[in-house]
Amino acid sequence: MTLSQFRLGLMSGALAMLAGCADTRPYTQAYTQATGPWQSWQVPVSTPSPLLGKIWSYKDNAFITPDALAKHMAAVDFALLGESHDNADHHRLQGWMVSAIANEGRQPAVVWEMFDTGQSDALATFQAGKPDHADALGTAVQWEKTGWPQWPLYQPIAEASLSSGLTMYAGDPPVKLVRAVGKKDFSVLPAGQSKKLLLDRSLATDLQNALQTQIVKSHCNLIPATATGPMYRGQRLRDASMAMHMVEKGARDGAILIAGTGHVRQDRAVPWYLRQLRPGKTVSSLMFVGVTDKDTDPVALIPTDPNGKPVADYAWFTPKVVRKDPCIALKKRFAK
């Protein structure tokens, strides 16, 4: 989902490294020798895409194997795993990636978009209890009140973190603060916070325009660009907050981000802030992308920046969740 529409909807009120060599074995052979969630999809598949289950490296311009991807992502300081929030296979693959990175000898912090800082104490208390399973974590943080899809969908990520001995952290600011910033501006943040989060720095004009255009598009072109200010500010605050938590919690051994694809874009989202906050550190983005039988070109399935460059380093193709057209309901709301 673009611009993390679960939280943008709440906010608007009215209204998502090191480049390695590609595996030289035949792709199907390399894949069948591995085991993982890609061998048993949860999202129904009728007619599969030829891309289904494959991983495309935009750096190498080639398909790579899951093991190769894990090594690439484990080699960077900050690894960002971009999802569609309602796709169970994305969360299962994120969990696999968390475990795979840890198996490479890393102990990064795991920062979640889905936990906001108001849940930090409950999250820390739960983990301090050294739980064997993550099934009770949803209850501990009152997940059912957050508006995210049901906890069992996200549980594989938490299970992977706990079993790998990795600590999970909240990355998102509280919804009330996002709304306040959207309603007014960054001056409502605590003293010094705007500068600390780099919100005193403007995005390049082309990036700002592109973000505003995406917000308009995500609202079915029913709002003018002049009305995007609240959501634009909210998106920047959230990206900056996630980046800051990755930097702070990952000071020892880097960090993994669990977030929607809109937040892992290399051009203007969390990676933009990471590069400003920690120049010289390596940042890599992986997007999990749902596909149908009509999707055959891996290069065409990832958004691009204003210069036409893909905004992710890797894409892992999964079954696509079939949804009702959200524009139908939104048009009815705007018609009232």
Average pLDDT of the segment spanning 178-188: 96
pLDDT of residue 295: 96
Cα–Cα dist 40/294, whole Å: 21
Residue 255: inside a domain: yes
- Reported confidence tier of residue 331, pLDDT bands at 50, 70, 90: confident
- Reported confidence tier of residue 298, pLDDT bands at 50, 70, 90: very high
Q: Tell me the C-alpha to C-alpha distance, in Å, between residue 312 and each of 58, 217, 336.
A: 7, 20, 39
Share above pLDDT 70 across residues of the chain, in percent, rounded to a whole number: 89
In the block, residue with structure tokens 């960054």: 186
Residue 50: inside a domain: no
Cα–Cα dist 297/291, whole Å: 10
pLDDT of residue 336: 64
Split into its structural domains, the chain has a count of 1
Residue 326: inside a domain: no
Residue 304: inside a domain: no
Lowest-confidence segment of 18-27, 65-74, 261-270, 277-286 by average pLDDT? 18-27
Residue 20: inside a domain: no
Lowest-confidence segment of 130-139, 266-275, 323-332 by average pLDDT? 323-332
Q: What is the mean pLDDT of the chain?
A: 90
Residue 318: inside a domain: no
- Reported confidence tier of residue 25, pLDDT bands at 50, 70, 90: very low
pLDDT of residue 216: 93
pLDDT of residue 4: 47
pLDDT of residue 334: 73
Question: Domain residues for 241?
Answer: 2-8+58-291
Stronger pLDDT, 300 or 36, i.e. the higher one: 300
Q: What is the pLDDT of residues 31-61, one digit of tens each?
A: 444 578 988 999 999 899 999 999 999 989 9
Helix (H, G, I), strand (E, B) or coil at 100: helix
Residue 309: inside a domain: no
Residue 328: inside a domain: no
Q: What is the CATH number of the domain that holds 116?
A: 3.40.50.11550
